[in-house]
């Protein structure tokens, strides 16, 4: 399959420029004044994919400090004059190192949902939890479904590319349209949760939030087969969540399940089995 591109979808949000002045700490890229959500992690994910496929020109485009600055300038040029509201900027990277883009508007999202200090436990009425730091809101609540078919682990489930047939088919089976507040979870041949079609899932297990394991580089024998997403990496590096394999048949109807992605941050969900 040679006609695919590497891509990532970045949130451009002028509200992120306020982060350094609003008491947020340990936010990484957005600790400085930048409207691009976790931009360095987006660059890293594209670079890992380019290295895996040995796309030398693409590696050169996004490698090192120069590559990150190049990507930031590219985004700045795209978003100059785009308006005050948040936007999705889909960045594509081709084998020959060319960058492309598409933009569309996004809804407002509270900064606490983009950069939370923790994910509330299922018993989040607990005041001690609330006092720990900046908590994401639980509104809206997404409906979280399980795919009715298994998905094979591959390079195209590990890396984010324009080859997305497996995700599109899962959404079609679940009858999810783009505007729905619903997500469907992919399941691998071992019966483990892989990921959502456009999100990383987090499950409450053993008194903590866990997410399916993903190795840094693709290996068919390792991990659950999902994508090492930007917000997933962010939450793991801050010990908000840990890695743990999650069997699909361990999910309980009605249980809380947080999901996240690089466009909308962290979103509360509720599992629906029946």
Kindly report the backbone phi and psi dihedral angles of residue 271, in degrees, each rounded to the nearest multiple of 5, phi listed first: -70, 135
Q: Which residue is listed with tokens 């840094």?
A: 216
- Return the H-helix or E-strand segment holding 75: helix 64-79
Q: Are strands 256-261 and 200-205 parallel, antiparallel or unpaired?
A: antiparallel
Q: How confident is the model at residue 6 (pLDDT cuts 50, 70, 90)?
A: very high
CA 16, CA 9: separation in Å to the nearest integer? 16
Task: Label residue 165 exposed, middle or buried (CB < 10 Å: 0-12, 13-18, 19+).
Answer: exposed
The mean pLDDT of 140-149, rounded to a whole number, is 97
Closest CA to 11 of 134, 135, 109: 109
The CA distance from 58 to 47, in Å, is: 8
Residue 96 has what pLDDT? 98
- Neighbour-count burial of 53, counting CB atoms closer than 10 A to its CB (0-12 exposed, 13-18 middle, 19+ buried): middle
User: What are the residue ranges spanned by the domains of the chain?
Assistant: 6-107, 113-271
**Banded model confidence at residue 172, pLDDT cuts 50, 70, 90:** very high
Residue 79: half-sphere exposure toward Cβ, Cα within 13 Å: 24
Q: Is the pLDDT of residue 127 over 80?
A: no
Confidence band (pLDDT; 50, 70, 90) for 53?
very high
Topology of domain 6-107, CATH: D-amino Acid Aminotransferase; Chain A, domain 1 (3.30.470)
6-107 and 113-271: same fold?
no
Does the pTM surpass 0.85? The reply is yes
CATH code assigned to 113-271: 3.20.10.10
The reported pLDDT for the residue numbered 274 is 75
């Amino acid at each position: 399959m040679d006609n695919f591109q590497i891509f990532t979808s970045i949130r451009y949000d002028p509200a992120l420029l306020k982060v350094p002045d609003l008491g947020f700490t340990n936010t990484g890229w957005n600790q400085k004044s930048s409207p691009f959500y976790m931009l360095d992690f987006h660059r890293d994910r594209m670079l890992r994919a380019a290295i895996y496929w040995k796309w030398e020109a693409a590696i050169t485009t996004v490698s090192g400090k120069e590559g990150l600055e190049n990507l930031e300038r590219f985004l700045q040029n795209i978003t100059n004059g785009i308006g005050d509201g948040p936007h999705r900027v889909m960045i594509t990277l081709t084998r020959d190192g060319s960058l492309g883009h598409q933009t569309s508007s996004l809804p407002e999202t509270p900064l606490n949902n983009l950069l939370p200090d923790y994910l509330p436990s299922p018993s989040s009425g607990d005041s001690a939890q609330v006092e720990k730091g900046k908590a994401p809101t639980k509104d809206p609540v997404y409906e979280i479904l399980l795919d009715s078919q298994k998905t094979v682990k591959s390079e195209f489930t590990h890396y984010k590319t324009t080859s997305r047939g497996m995700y599109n088919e899962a959404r079609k089976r679940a009858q999810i349209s783009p505007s729905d507040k619903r997500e469907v979870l992919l399941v691998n041949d071992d019966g483990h949760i892989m990921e959502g079609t456009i999100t990383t899932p987090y499950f409450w297990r053993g008194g903590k939030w866990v997410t399916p394991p993903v190795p840094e580089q693709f290996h068919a024998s390792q991990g659950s087969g999902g994508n090492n997403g930007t917000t997933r990496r962010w939450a793991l590096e801050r010990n908000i969540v840990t890695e743990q394999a999650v069997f699909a048949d361990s999910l309980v109807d009605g249980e809380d399940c947080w999901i996240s992605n690089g466009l909308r941050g962290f979103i509360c969900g509720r599992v629906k089995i029946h």
